[in-house]
Amino acid sequence: MTAALVPFASFSGAIEFIFSEQTSNVTGGAKVGGFEQAVELTLKQLEVTVLALALALIVALPLGLYLGHRGKGEVVLVGLANAGRALPELALIALVAALIGIGLVPVTLALAVLGIPPIVSNAYVGVRQVDPAAVDAARGMGMGEMEIIRKVELPLAISTVMGGVRSATIAIVATATIAPLAGVLTLGDYIINASIYGEDGRLAGAILVALLALSLEGLLALLQRRLTSDGLKVKTA
């Protein structure tokens, strides 16, 4: 019976770690844990996630929308989407650390690379699924091609596009978790360097990472709902 209670004991130890500083596992050292440190690492993970996502959007969104508008490049984009899924984030971080460099810039670039495939392929699919009649009507009204993309296709495709953004975010947040391997200290530090933070710290890290990922996903889901105009809302997700 006591064995069943062990998990609860671990979780309470982890919660304590988040809120109060403790003596480090490695004697003679500074204290670890505590609210301030948790916030610092969370902010760092948010920082690198947002930067990478922004970079991925800048590169992938216009490209995906344009290709979707022209109807070109489907095979390449499908391949890219599959390749992106098959790319192990651990290998990416390891190669970046060893060959390019460690620090915020190389890591952000690597994370952006992970975010590009879902955004570009979803943007493409979203635009392809726009009713051609709407595009024709817009052309008939004298809109230029770029205007059509911006004012007609993007709003109609926004739900699918946001789906891509959400996928990208999940991949980026997950990889940002192992960014400490490349010198960017995110919440993953608690998990990877458990020798300093102890088992309580490690579990605390896991909890905080999960909460961060879920919060971001929730925010983006809300945003997706807001941006999708009412006429387009689909019943089944």
Chain residues binding another protein by CB under 8 A are 6-7, 10-11, 24-30, 32, 74, 78, 81-83, 85-91, 94-95, 97-99, 101-103, 121, 125, 170, 173-174, 177-178, 180-181, 183, 185, 188-189, 191-196, 198, 202-203, 205-207, 209-210, 213-214, 217, 236-237
Cβ-based nearer residue to another protein, 59 or 87: 87
Minimum distance of another protein from residue 156's CB (angstroms):
19
Residue type, 185: L
For residue 143, the minimal CB distance to another protein (Å) is 29
By beta-carbon proximity to another protein, the closer residue of 55 and 196 is 196
Is the CB of 108 or the CB of 148 nearer to another protein? 108
Q: Specify whether the CB–CB gap between 187 and 177 falls below 8 A.
A: yes
Task: Say whether 178 sits in a helix, a strand or coil.
Answer: coil
Residue 217 CB, nearest distance to another protein (Å)?
5
Cβ 52 to another protein, closest distance in Å? Answer: 15
Can you give the three-state secondary structure of 53-98, one letter per residue? HHHHHHHHHHHHHHHHHHCCCHHHHHHHHHHHHHCCHHHHHHHHHH
Q: Which is nearer to another protein, 55 or 170 (by Cβ)?
A: 170
Phi/psi of residue 71, each to 5°?
75, 25
Nearer to another protein among residue 117 and residue 152 (C-beta): 117
Instruction: Tell me how far, at minimum, the Cβ of 58 lies from another protein, in Å.
Output: 24
Crossing angle between the packed helical segments 35-70 and 194-227, to the nearest 10 degrees: 40
**Coil/strand/helix, residue 41:** helix
**In 10 A of CB 208, how many CB atoms?**
24
